[in-house]
A and B are shown apart, each in its own frame.
Chain A
Amino acid sequence: AQSVTQPDIHITVSEGASLELRCNYSYGATPYLFWYVQSPGQGLQLLLKYFSGDTLVQGIKGFEAEFKRSQSSFNLRKPSVHWSDAAEYFCAVGGGGNKLTFGTGTQLKVEL
């Protein structure tokens, strides 16, 4: 069965600081990996996805993520956080059959 672990429930960073959100997955074959962001009271918006190829993936809003098969990880990074990045971030894994399994999310707070 596929699963996702996001070990950090809450993270607080200062505006302008760098950010890394951790994601570890479990999947028996080549995974399809996603990062979504949810702003308060909103639906989920796709930040980036990895299907194959270059293991460093660029997304929207200046985010990037790196797929590391040996570590079963897909960590999300941003070099300089903006106050508007405060939100809930979800990592998800999928494979065949259109089923996405989400992690429990990481809430990001940005200190001004």
Chain B
Amino acid sequence: DTAVSQTPKYLVTQMGNDKSIKCEQNLGHDTMYWYKQDSKKFLKIMFSYNNKELIINETVPNRFSPKSPDKAHLNLHINSLELGDSAVYFCASSPPSGGRTDTQYFGPGTRLTVL
């Protein structure tokens, strides 16, 4: 059984388009995350949701909008795509931990290429 799944795995699109990436976890976790991994493999957190509430919002352009319809899903919508948005986007989730950092379980990633 897939624990954290993302769709699509690959996404190729033109500059200026709007696209969404979906993430689902079946681990029963309360907290979900979106990370961006650039071409140099640097991994940086973008957003975190806990029980559908936004708790971490790093300095990400407001073209990026996460949406959590329920605690098992965290989708990422990107408006007006730019060349610099090309990266691998990872979704992750973690169990309840009383506010401290706990193990994060990662999805397989979505490779976004903006042409």
Contacts and interface: CB of A to CB of B under 8 A. Distances in A.
B43 interface: yes
B30 to A, nearest CB: 10
Interface in A28-52: 32, 34, 36, 38, 41-46, 49
A94 B92 CA distance: 15
B100 A43 contact: no
A-side interface mostly: strand
Given A96-B99, A98-B48, A43 B4 contact: yes
A33 to B, nearest CB: 10
B108 A97 contact: no
A98 B55 contact: yes
B103 A34 contact: yes
B62 interface: no
B-side interface mostly: strand
Sorting the interface of chain B by its residue count into under 10, 10 to 19, 20 to 34 or 35 or more gives 20 to 34
B101 A97 contact: yes
Nearest to A46: B103
A109 to B, nearest CB: 14
A43 B9 CA distance: 11
B46 to A, nearest CB: 12
B41 A43 contact: no
Given A44-B106, A90-B43, A97 B99 contact: yes
Nearest to A31: B101
Nearest to B99: A96
Contact of A43 (B44, B102, B109): B109
A44 B105 CA distance: 8
Given A94-B100, A96-B101, 16 more contacts: A32-B101, A36-B106, A42-B108, A44-B90, A46-B103, A46-B104, A90-B43, A96-B100, A97-B101, A98-B55, A98-B101, A98-B102, A100-B104, A101-B45, A102-B44, A104-B42
6 contacts: A32-B100, A44-B43, A97-B56, A98-B56, A100-B101, A105-B41
Interface of B: 4, 31, 33, 40-45, 48, 50, 55-56, 90, 92, 94, 97, 99-109
